[in-house]
Structure 1
Amino acid sequence: MTNRAIISTPDAPTAIGPYSQAVKVGNTVWLSGQIPLVPDTMELVTGDITAQAKQVFYNLAAVAEAAGGTLNNAVKINISLTDMADFAAVNEVMMEFLQAPYPARACVQVAGLPKGVAIEIEAILAL
C-alpha cells in the first residue's frame, strides 16, 4: 500500500503496545484508542471521569492535528467506558471538543481497559 502513512506526534502519549497513534490512507485517518495518559510524563490523569475524558480528547486532538485535521473531521467515534454511569459526563466533554453536526458514534461498557482506566476513545477522520 503506497499511500499509507503512519501518524506520530510527541503531543500525544507514545504507544503502550504494538500499534501506531494513527494510520492515514488517502483522506481517511484511523486514530488508535487513547486513554487518559499525559504525554509528557506518561502518567495517568487521576480524578473524576470529566478530567480523564478531557485528557483523552486532548490526546485525540493532538493526533488529529498531526494528521492534518481536527476532531471536527471525525466521522466516527467509538467510546469504551467501564461504567455507563459516566455516559452523561463524557457527552458534556465531547461537546467541548467537537462542534455540531457531530460524527456517528458508539459507546459501550466494557469489563476492563488498559492500565485499569475508566475510558478509552478512538476515532476515524475524513480529511
Structure 2
Amino acid sequence: MKRETITLDNAEGLPLSDAVRFGDIIFVSGMVAFDDKGEIVKGGIAAETRQTFRNIERVLEKAGATLADALKVNIILTHAEDFDAFNIAYRELFPKSPPARISMVAGLTIDARLEVDVIAGVSS
C-alpha cells in the first residue's frame, strides 16, 4: 500500500502532517479551532467545535474523504464543564450513525478549549 502525506498549510513548521493516508484509511492529526488568520475562534466551545471540524473537513477533502467517512474520533477538552455544550455541537455534525469516539479532559499546548483527531475510511 502507498503512504501519502496530506498537508494544507503547516505555517508553524511543526514536524507533523495534517494527515496521512495509507490505502483507504486516513489518519488526521489533532486539529484545533484555528481560523483563516491562524487564531482560535471566539465564541466558546460550540464555536470552537464547529471550526475544528471545518478544519478537519478540509483535510479529509484533500485526502479524498468527507466527515461522513469518519470511523473514530478522539476528543480532548480542556474543561470538563464544556462536555454538554460540546455534545450539542457534535450532534449537529453527526446526526445519524456517529463514529466511535473517546472524550477526555487534559491540558493542551496551545490556548484552545479542544483538540480533535480523526481516523476515516475512504468509501470505495
* TM-score above 0.5, yes or no: yes
Q: Which runs of 5+ in 2 are unaligned?
A: none
Give 3-state SS (helix, strand or coil) of 1:79's partner: strand
The one of 87, 112, 119 aligned to 2:114: 119
Deviations 1:32-89 (A, max 9, x none): 0101111x21111122111111110110111111111111111100000011111111
* Conserved? CA contact 1:15–1:21, under 8 Å: no
Residue identity (%):
36
Q: Distance in 2 between matches of 1:105 and 1:57?
A: 14
Give matches, 1:11-90, under 5 Å. 14=10, 16=12, 17-38=14-35, 40-90=36-86
Give 3-state SS (helix, strand or coil) of 1:102's partner: coil
Give 3-state SS (helix, strand or coil) of 2:110's partner: helix
With normalisation by structure 2, the TM-score equals: 0.90
Moved >3 Å (runs of 4+) = none
* Conserved? CA contact 1:36–1:52, under 8 Å: yes
* Conserved? CA contact 1:72–1:99, under 8 Å: no
Alignment root-mean-square deviation, CA? 1.4
Q: What is the total number of aligned residue pairs between the two structures?
A: 121
Q: Which runs of 5+ in 1 are unaligned?
A: none
